[in-house]
Amino acid sequence: MRALFTSKWTKVVVFLLCLMPLASLGWRALHNDLSANPIEFITHATGDWTLRFLLITLAITPLRKILRLPDLIRFRRMLGLFAFFYACLHFTTYIWLDKFFDLAEMWKDVAKRRYITVGFTAFVLLIPLASTSTAGWIRRLGGRRWQQLHRLIYISAVCGVIHYYWLVKSAVLRPLTYAAILAVLLLWRLATKYWPQPRPATVELPPKPQRAQA
């Protein structure tokens, strides 16, 4: 099992899996299967996958602890960067296909429409995280500061879920599902930080053999 998580090939496979949503969009585009409103379809798909990758990224730490699979850490940066990748696609769809690079119009939107304000915030917060994702930046910032900075992902994910909740007309089930998962992931962090850790199950060790007296 451990070998499965430490093999470099697993990383390649995960990388390719992460590209599947994009490949699916490409496939559908080729087959004229992006619904009657392709721009809306692409916007929703890229937005959905941004949220999903944010949640998967946030699930790594709890899963490492719960499943006792510390090697999962190898995938966290990649998953986080994929969240940013899909966020970029989502934002590009909006600014290009929805606003046609009308920046004035975009700023009006950001200022006036609260779901766009909060969604834009979620996107902007990811930029420093993506740009300091290298080992060099961890060194330059120092582990502690780097970690503090990267807690911005919590705010970004919360903003992302609110963005989704505020834009739907009435079908709140899906945004609430994302919200519930995010709540579990964040509450787990709070719980493990402030509640006393349960002691690791102790194993009765056989008594040390008494050393013969000299």
* 200 secondary structure, DSSP code: P
Are the C-beta atoms of 97 and 89 separated by less than 8 Å? no
The pair of three-digit structure tokens given for residue 203, joined into one six-digit string: 């194993």
Least distance in Å: CB of 168 to other proteins? 8
167: amino acid identity, one letter: L
> Is 125:85 a contact under the CB 8 Å cutoff?
no
Output 172 or 183, the one with its CB closest to other proteins: 172
Structure tokens at 185: 């992931």
End-to-end CA distance of the chain: 47
| Cα–Cα nearest to 116, from 42, 124, 100, 85 | 124
As measured in angstroms, the least distance from the Cβ of 133 to other proteins is 25
Which residues lie near other proteins (CB under 8 A)? 1-4, 17, 20, 24, 27-28, 33, 35-37, 39-40, 67, 69, 100, 109, 113-115, 166-173
Answer for the pair 55, 154: CB distance below 8 angstroms, yes or no.
no
Tokens of 190: 């709070």
Nearer to other proteins, 24 or 192 (CB): 24
Smallest distance from the beta carbon of 183 to other proteins, in angstroms?
20
CB of 18 to other proteins, least distance (A): 12
The CA–CA distances, whole Å, from 63 to 10, 29, 67, 69 equal: 17, 35, 6, 7
The tokens for 150 are 């990267």
User: Taking the complex as a whole, how short is the minimal distance between the CB of residue 184 and other proteins, in angstroms?
Assistant: 17
Tell me whether residue 80 or residue 119 sits nearer to other proteins (CB atom).
119
- Output the smallest distance, CB 146 to other proteins, in A: 29
Of residues 109 and 122, the one with the C-beta less far from other proteins: 109
In angstroms, rounded to a whole number, what is the distance separating the alpha carbons of residues 74 and 99?
38
Judged by beta carbon, residue 28 or residue 189, the one nearer other proteins is 28
Question: 83 vs 126, which CB is nearer to other proteins?
Answer: 83
